[in-house]
Amino acid sequence: MAQSKISLTRYLVEQQRADGLIPGQLRLLLEVVARACKSISQAVNKGALGGVLGTAESENVQGEIQKKLDIIANEVLIEANEWGGHLAAMASEEMDSIYVVPNRYPQGEYLLLFDPLDGSSNIDVNVSIGTIFSVLKKPDDTPGVQEGDFLQAGSKQVAAGYCIYGPQTTLVLTVGAGVAMFTLDREQGSFMLTQEDIQIPADTKEFAVNMSNMRHWDAPVKRYIDECLAGKEGPRGKDFNMRWIASMVADVHRILMRGGVFMYPWDKREPEKAGKLRLMYEANPMSWLVEQAGGAATNGRQRIMDLQPSKLHERVAVVLGSKNEVERLTGYHDPL
């Protein structure tokens, strides 16, 4: 655990200087995202006092009823980022199509994708929620910005992270050189480095899945969970614990802190959908963080970050976390 007082700004400047890992524009972009998260954190903290709880009278492109905080968080991220000069466009769970930076502002070379508020069903019950983000570089061969510019595999990300609004507000980030964690010091108003080089243990005795969907799962997922549930007497020879927070951000944060395997597999409820979670602004950034921490992330058959997206709001099955468990469950599926 890092004890020295290193702010996110200093950390990013050092990363930029050390080996040119972060170009200046990307550093500024990440600072703006962090500032936006700070302001979302304040709104979350006010809760009922700030009038931010409850449902808005609208649906997003995925047909989900939006919460007031989904909309507030989306607006905060757009307003904070649109004028800074580092972005060409943004995409969000809460917007049907991409948001191109208006031409009254300087244009940058990056594309920012986000799930402004992850775990919306937990907002009104005071359980941890978060913001997930992913940064890509705009391909330079095309004039202007099109949705197609966003359709890049997760392996092309140049930065990814999340901010969790829980008992502490914590920002977790990768730029491709390990995973670092920053905790918001509310008195100073700054994110301070609290852990570097986070590592997920390769083995675990904890899984996270919504068990109420068990009857809808495919055979390999059912087999894996049945074997975990069989405990010491079963083929795994050990007892497993289960956690399901229903905020991906909080479940992944736990896995980064102490290991575990998280899954939201394909199921028979809506067979035409590959899964529930969204590839570009949920699965890809979380997969990169997990891989950077020594874990693995697949859709049951393929590495998530190798998948070529075909649309902005594409869904995907997700298995991520402790490497040996992800490999075991992936191995239970027939290869493609």
- The tokens for 168 are 């502490």
Binding status of residue 251 toward Mg ion by CB under 5 A: no
Contact letters (x/-) for ligand FBP, 52-91, by CB under 6 A? ----------------------------------------
Is 245 strand, coil or helix?
Answer: coil
Please identify, using beta-carbon distances, which residue of 120 and 169 lies nearer to ligand FBP.
120
Contact letters (x/-) for ligand FBP, 251-290, by CB under 6 A? -------------x-----------x--------------
Please identify, using beta-carbon distances, which residue of 93 and 325 lies nearer to Mg ion.
93
Please identify, using beta-carbon distances, which residue of 118 and 325 lies nearer to ligand FBP.
118
Inter-helix orientation angle 24-46/68-81, to 10°: 150
Binding status of residue 115 toward ligand FBP by CB under 6 A: yes
Q: What's the min distance (Å) between Cβ of 76 and ligand FBP?
A: 15
Place of tokens 């614990």: 241
Indicate which single residue of 82, 115, 206, 325 sits in contact with Mg ion (rule: CB under 5 A): 115
Q: Are strands 277-278 and 315-316 parallel, antiparallel or unpaired?
A: antiparallel
Please identify, using beta-carbon distances, which residue of 34 and 245 lies nearer to ligand FBP.
245
Strands (E), the chain: 55-59, 65-67, 87-92, 99-100, 110-118, 129-137, 159-165, 169-174, 179-185, 190-195, 206-208, 241-242, 261-264, 277-278, 296-298, 315-316, 318-321
Binding status of residue 118 toward ligand FBP by CB under 6 A: yes
Indicate which single residue of 97, 188, 199, 210 sits in contact with ligand FBP (rule: CB under 6 A): 210
Chosen from Mg ion, ligand FBP, none, partner binding at 323 (C-beta under 5 to 8 Å by type): none
**Range 34-93, binding Mg ion (CB under 5 A):** 93
- The tokens for 275 are 């899964």
Binding status of residue 149 toward Mg ion by CB under 5 A: no
Please identify, using beta-carbon distances, which residue of 248 and 319 lies nearer to ligand FBP.
248
Which residues pair with residue 35 across a beta bridge? Answer: none
- Which runs of consecutive H residues, i.e. helices, occur in 118-275? 219-229, 248-258
Q: Are 38 and 164 in contact (CB under 8 A)?
A: no
Q: Are 201 and 259 in contact (CB under 8 A)?
A: yes
Total residues interacting with ligand FBP, rule: CB under 6 A = 12
Q: Are 300 and 317 in contact (CB under 8 A)?
A: yes
Q: Are 332 and 228 in contact (CB under 8 A)?
A: no
Chosen from ligand FBP, Mg ion, none, partner binding at 246 (C-beta under 5 to 8 Å by type): ligand FBP
Binding site for ligand FBP (CB under 6 A): 93, 115, 118-121, 210, 246-248, 264, 276
Residues that bind Mg ion (CB under 5 A): 93, 115, 117-118
